[in-house]
């Protein structure tokens, strides 16, 4: 014979039902809030060459400047920098459907490109160009700059066509400070940086310049032992400059990099240079050894 349902037992059942419903509602709200917080994160995309990729740092996925910026400001992050890319390569890369999708995804896009236009798949080309400049002949440099300028204009046009709302940051090229050719190379870099910035003459709000050239100028301590790429400390310096710019644009609150994973600088064996000269092809820093950064003072 079933027990009679009393007012008290009915009330207890109702309380249990309400408690279960409240728990389900809380789980639902926490899930929604979690998704909302994820959606509120800005999307940060890196495009460009080996500097953008993080060459010069062995653990580049964790410690390149793009990752540092993303970690510091809490951005979602993708890096499509490719070692060896010049302006022509990046221009063509932007025709790839997957790359277009990433450009459309991005709220902020950082670009580092142009140095490989001088190298042109053989590191000794930059020596010949510097020698010519030192002798007063800038014709080769001017041709390189003209080609890079046309490609760069097309790069910005393509990005704007895909995602007109994205904030674009264009990094100026720095001088690694090579002995003997540092002066002539500075002439070429000034011409190339100026040609990129000239895009703003007719399109003043197209992108924001991040002046890495000035920040890294003459500071060999920021350069990896491959003599080209920024080392772990150099990546932190670049990240700091980008963070300053993002704060000025209202896209971040921090200017001091958050280092979740200390960078490990690469030591490239000089065979890189020899291989490049013989094969007339550019390769990433080949053999490398772990060289931990010195502890901060």
CATH code of 165's domain: 3.40.50.1110
Same domain? 98 vs 142:
yes
Q: Residue 85's closest CA among 125, 55, 41?
A: 55
**In the prediction, which pLDDT does 42 show?**
98
- Within 8 A by CB and 6+ apart from 173, the residues are 112, 114, 115, 189, 192, 193, 212, 213
Residue 79 shares a structural domain with residue 21 = no
Please check whether residues 22 and 69 belong to one and the same domain. Answer: no
Structural domain span for residue 241: 43-292
Which of 249, 281, 228 has its CA nearest to residue 115?
228
Longest Cα pair distance anywhere in the chain, in angstroms? Answer: 111
**Same domain membership, residue 127 and residue 205:** yes
**Residue 289, pLDDT score:** 33
Confidence (pTM): 0.77
118 shares its domain with 264:
yes
Question: Would 98 be classed as within a structural domain?
Answer: yes
Q: Is residue 28 part of a domain?
A: yes
pLDDT score recorded for residue 227? 81
| pLDDT at residue 1, as a whole number | 55
Tokens of 107: 């709220």
| Number of domains into which the chain is organized | 2
Q: Which ranges constitute the DSSP H helices of the chain?
A: 7-40, 50-53, 60-63, 65-73, 87-93, 97-105, 115-119, 124-134, 139-162, 182-197, 199-202, 212-216, 232-248, 271-279
Question: Which residues in the chain land under pLDDT 70?
Answer: 1-16, 19-39, 121-123, 179, 218, 268-297
pLDDT score at 162: 98
Please tell me whether residues 246 and 199 are part of one structural domain. yes
Task: Give the pLDDT score at 286.
Answer: 33
Q: Do 25 and 128 lie in a common domain?
A: no
Look at residue 55 and tell me if it is in a domain: yes
Looking at residue 280, its pLDDT comes to 52
Burial class (CB in 10 A: 0-12, 13-18, 19+), 204: exposed
* Residues 19, 165 within the same domain: no
Same domain flag for 12 and 71: no
Please state, as a whole number, how many other Cβ atoms lie within 10 Å of the Cβ of residue 278.
10
């Amino acid at each position: 014979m079933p027990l009679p349902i009393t007012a008290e037992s009915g009330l207890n059942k109702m309380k249990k039902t309400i408690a279960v419903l409240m728990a389900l509602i809380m789980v639902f709200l926490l899930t929604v809030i979690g998704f909302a917080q994820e959606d509120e994160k800005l999307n940060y995309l890196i495009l460009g060459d080996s500097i953008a990729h993080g060459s010069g740092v062995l653990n580049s996925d964790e410690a390149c400047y793009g990752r540092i910026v993303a970690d510091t400001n809490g951005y979602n992050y993708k890096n499509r920098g490719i070692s060896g890319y010049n302006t022509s390569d990046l221009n063509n890369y932007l025709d790839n459907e997957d790359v277009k999708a990433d450009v459309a995804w991005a709220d902020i896009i950082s670009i580092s490109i142009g140095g490989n236009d001088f190298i042109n798949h053989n590191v000794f080309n930059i020596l010949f160009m510097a020698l010519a400049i030192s002798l007063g002949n800038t014709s080769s440099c001017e041709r390189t700059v003209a080609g890079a300028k046309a490609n760069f204009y097309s790069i910005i046009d393509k990005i704007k066509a895909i995602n007109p709302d994205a904030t674009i940051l264009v990094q100026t090229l720095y001088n690694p400070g090579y002995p003997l050719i540092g002066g002539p190379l500075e002439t070429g870099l000034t011409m190339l940086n100026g040609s990129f910035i000239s895009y703003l003459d007719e399109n003043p709000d197209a992108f924001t310049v991040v002046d890495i050239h000035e920040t890294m100028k003459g500071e060999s301590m920021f350069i990896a032992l491959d003599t080209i790429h920024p080392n772990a400390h150099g990546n932190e310096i670049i990240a700091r400059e980008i963070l300053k710019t993002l704060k000025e644009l209202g896209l971040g609150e921090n200017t001091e990099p958050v280092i979740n994973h200390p960078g490990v600088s690469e030591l490239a064996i000089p065979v890189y240079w020899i291989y490049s000269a013989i094969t007339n092809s550019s390769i990433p820093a080949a053999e490398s050894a772990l060289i931990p950064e010195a502890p901060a003072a």
